[in-house]
């Protein structure tokens, strides 16, 4: 079991790695300036990577929702144990898409001035 400081450090390192991955994807995959569709894809990936969830009702620490959904479905108690983390994942994906499209539109508007 992780202590609280090591748990916080692990989650921060995971989020930093995910954000660095998003920046690299942005630079390597998408054209300049970013279109709203590209912003939606980046936002979706970011939302899927960064959404946290609780692995179970009795567990007090959070983990990446994508990992929880996959592991609970494949190796845990099946799809029934992955419903709550899947909702967190869905909310993260929707927030990511909205954020990505908004960010791309704002950047495009600034570039047009």
Per-residue pLDDT tens over the stretch 48-61: 888 888 777 777 77
Whether this prediction's pTM lies above 0.85 is answered by no
Band (pLDDT 50/70/90 cuts) for residue 1 is low
Amino acid 94: pLDDT? 95
The 3-state DSSP composition of the chain as helix, strand, coil percent (nearest 5) reads 75, 5, 20
- Per-residue pLDDT, 2: 67
pLDDT above 90 for 97: yes
């Amino acid at each position: 079991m992780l202590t609280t400081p090591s748990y916080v450090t692990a989650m921060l390192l995971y989020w930093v790695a995910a954000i660095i991955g998003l920046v690299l994807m942005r630079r390597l995959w998408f054209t300049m300036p970013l279109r709203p569709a590209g912003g939606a894809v980046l936002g979706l990936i970011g939302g899927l990577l960064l959404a946290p969830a609780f692995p179970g009702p009795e567990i007090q620490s959070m983990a990446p929702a994508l990992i929880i959904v996959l592991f609970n479905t494949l190796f845990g108690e099946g799809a029934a144990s992955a419903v709550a983390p899947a909702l967190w994942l869905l909310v993260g994906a929707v927030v990511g898409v909205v954020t990505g499209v908004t960010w791309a539109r704002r950047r495009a508007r600034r570039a047009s001035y």
